[in-house]
Structure 1
Amino acid sequence: MDDTINDFRRELLNLGYSKTVVDNYPKYAQKLLEYTKETALKITDQHIKNHYQYLKTKPSRTTKKTISESHIYSQLLAIKLYFDYLERTKYIKQNPYTLRIKQATKKERIIFTQEEIQLLYKNTQNLEEKTILHLCYGCGLRRNEVELLNLKDVNFEQKLLFIRKGKGKKRRVIPLTEAIVKDLKEYCINIETIRKETQESFLINIQSNPIKGNTIYKTFKKVLQRTQSLKPENYCLHSLRHSIATHLLENEMSIEMVRDFLGHNQLGTTQIYTRINFLKTKLQQ
């Protein structure tokens, strides 16, 4: 791997980008270098344009269809940030990135109703599945926040969950309901015999290794597929986070409190996570 890729990764980490960005953006930049078989110093705007054309025809490893516009946009954004970094640090004299690509319009995310959330809980088959629902819906955590959650981050006595390094290195404290505390406690007791003394991760598998984000996503999908009244293709794990935001507003929580619960910096970001029509009604009151 090109040394500049490792430097770029450290830069993203120091700037407080999310774990997903830190893990993936250097890989996207590396893919450009591999595709062109050139070093960063020799990349031209034509190389980047050729790579863009290639991405538009590249099949996804999972769906076998061409990768989505939003995924292409993410890869191009990574490449742009990579060359912006190289230009800023004087590694290159001129930035070769000249593409102007508009971000793909995102479809309005379908959220679960409160009744549908109850159906999901009824279709869980073990404590691990229920715990993942509690963390992603009941606590509104992002997937990487669930993955990085440690035992010390959950205070059962005070009924609080601590996110010590969220998106943008933002910290927040999440209150836990009695039901969530009871189930999380039971989960911890249930896996106590397989947990190694040195293992601090909250979610672990039978080998006492941390449960990774992809496994968390697949577990959610299994529960979703058992819930026959719901179409799995309409939902993703992040739908749970959108859903809890809307449900909290429906239950009269202020939008400022929902913002703090989700760990957003801007109120406008929180608005995206809610039903727009409902939100407009609340703001007009």
Structure 2
Amino acid sequence: MNWNAKIVSHRGEKRIAVFFEKNTDLITRIKKVEGSRWSQSKGFWHVPNTVENQIRFKITVSLPSAEGIEAIEKFKQYLRSKRYSESTITTYSEALKSFFVFHNNKSIDKITNEDIIIYNNEYILKNKLSASYQNQVVNAIKLFFKTVKERSIEIEKVHRPKRARVLPNVLSKEEVKAILEAHSNIKHKMMLSLVYSCGLRCGELLALQPVHIDSKRNIVLLKNSKGKKDRIAPLSKKILEMLREYYKLYKPKTYLFEGKIEGTPYTNKSLQQVLKQALQKTSITKPVTLHWLRHSYATHLLESGTDLRYIQELLGHNSSKTTEIYTHVSMKSIQQIKSPFDDL
């Protein structure tokens, strides 16, 4: 079975997170582990951090050398000075830590390309770790040696996994409508509607402030989005009417969607729960996430004839190749293809 486990901090408690692609047998097995839980916000199963579970999930608790720990701290300082997000800093530093632990008995200054290849073959591939993790480690090592050690590692000699083409999950317009109309609570309905109508990421919605809504120009300003870029998205007339009604009722101060405490943003976890409750009120059984609404927005725009270049701008994609993935799930052209079976 292809799975990976590591110790993480979850809600202030040390737990063992277990990562694997959706598999009925593995889900059944992990449910039998006492204290196992599914994290909706993180998207992984986690179990108590006990010695028994460390052995069960082959967790080796080890630390890098003193030199390695110092090097990781310097790397973190560099990433923070460059304003990398905390999640990226954690991902990169943990990847680098794994590499240093593997080569614990070797001075960092003596590490070569060959050592990275050995780590790749003897640790990542041997333990059947994911392709995305493999890429994260390679990226972290490359950046560390270039910035902290000021010497280049010939990454091209390190085998990288072929990037899998995973198609985005898309809902039909009827399914989207059912989800958006499921809630009678205007705040819940407003949040889900805004995610779909503007193709927003979850974090972008939660960071919105009333001043970011420009009703005269019919746009919403998305500040400091992914990649630290600002962008604008058009607001439909229907959404503006809903926003006016919502604003009169809730009168938000700091954030457009505030939590229980005035002036604090609505939480990611609560927003996920809003979607979950909406799905429970519909007949939709697909494992829908908030990002599915963003995917559906892009695909429905493409199907209605919107130019791919505009969709790229609306979604905030750096590369057109990222946006082109929606051409593979758009049904407009596919449905017009006549099957040769009809001519038999």
Q: Give the TM-score normalised by structure 2.
A: 0.62
Go from structure 1 to structure 2 and tell me whether the alpha carbon gap of 1:256 and 1:188 turns closer, same or farther (over 3 Å shift).
same
Contact 2:208 2:257 in 1 (8 A): yes
* Higher percent of residues as helix: 1
Question: Given the superposition, is the C-alpha separation of residues 104 and 90 from structure 1 closer, same or farther in structure 2, using an over 3 Å criterion?
Answer: closer
1:144-197 Cα offsets, whole Å, 9 max, x none, are 2223222221123432101232333333221111221122233334333xx5x6
1:212 paired residue among 263, 267, 277:
267
Give the corresponding residue for 2:91. 25
Task: Give the stretch that moved more between structures: 152-161 or 181-190.
Answer: 181-190
Match in the other structure for 1:226: 281
Structure 1 residue 7: Cα displacement: 2.7
Listed as ranges, the matches of 1:72-87 within 5 Å are 72-87=130-145
Flag the 1:81–1:212 CA change in 2: closer, same or farther, 3 A.
Answer: farther
Q: Choose between structure 1 and 2: higher strand proportion.
A: 2
Provide closer, same or farther for how the CA distance between residues 5 and 207 of structure 1 changes in structure 2, counting only shifts above 3 A: farther
Q: Distance in 2 between matches of 1:266 and 1:182?
A: 34
Structure 1 match to 2:304: 251
SS in 2 for 1:174: strand
Number of residues of Structure 1 aligned to a counterpart in Structure 2: 256
Partner of 2:195: 136
Q: Distance in 2 between matches of 1:49 and 1:265?
A: 32
Distance 1:24 1:151 in 2: 32
* 1:41 aligned partner: 108
Mapped to 2, the partners of 1:12 and 1:50 lie a distance apart of: 33
Q: For residues 212 and 139 of structure 1, what CA distance do their matches in structure 2 show?
A: 19
Contact 2:180–2:193 (Cα < 8 Å) also in 1: no
User: Do the aligned residues in 1 keep the contact of 2:194 with 2:200 (CA within 8 Å)?
Assistant: yes
Which residue among 214, 226, 238 is the counterpart of 2:291?
Answer: 238
Aligned to 2:15: none
Give the conservation status (yes or no) of the 8 Å contact 2:182–2:281: yes
Unaligned runs of 5+ in 1: 57-68
Distance 2:211 2:89 in 1: 25
Q: In the alignment, is residue 10 of structure 1 matched against residue 80 of structure 2?
A: yes
Q: Partners in 2 of 1:121 and 1:78 — Cα distance? A: 36
Is 2:208–2:255's contact at 8 Å kept on the other side of the alignment?
A: yes
When residues 260 and 90 of structure 1 are mapped into structure 2, their CA distance, relative to the original with a 3 A threshold, is: closer
Q: Give the direction of change, closer, same or farther, for the CA distance of 1:7–1:89 in structure 2 (3 Å limit).
A: same
Superposed CA offset, 1:11-42 (max 9, x none): 6636xxxx585365235436526965959938
When structure 1 is superposed on structure 2, of 19-28 and 30-39 the one drifting more is 30-39
Counterpart position of 1:271 = 324
| Corresponding residue of 2:229 | 170
Inter-partner Cα distance in structure 2 for 1:170 and 1:129: 27
Match of 2:255 in 1: 201
Whether the aligned pair in 2 keeps the contact of 1:147 and 1:212 (CA below 8 Å) is yes
- Seen in structure 2, the aligned counterparts of structure 1 residues 163 and 48 have a Cα distance that, compared at 3 Å, is same
Asked whether the equivalents of residues 142 and 152 of structure 2 are also in contact (C-alpha less than 8 Å), the reply is no
Distance 1:34 1:210 in 2: 38
Tell me what 1:64 maps to: none
- Tell me how far apart the structure 2 counterparts of residues 54 and 73 of structure 1 sit (CA, whole Å): 13
1:261 aligned partner, one-letter code: L
Say what the alpha-carbon RMSD is for the aligned residues. Answer: 3.5
Q: Which deviates more from structure 2 when the two are superposed, residues 118-127 or residues 143-152?
A: 143-152
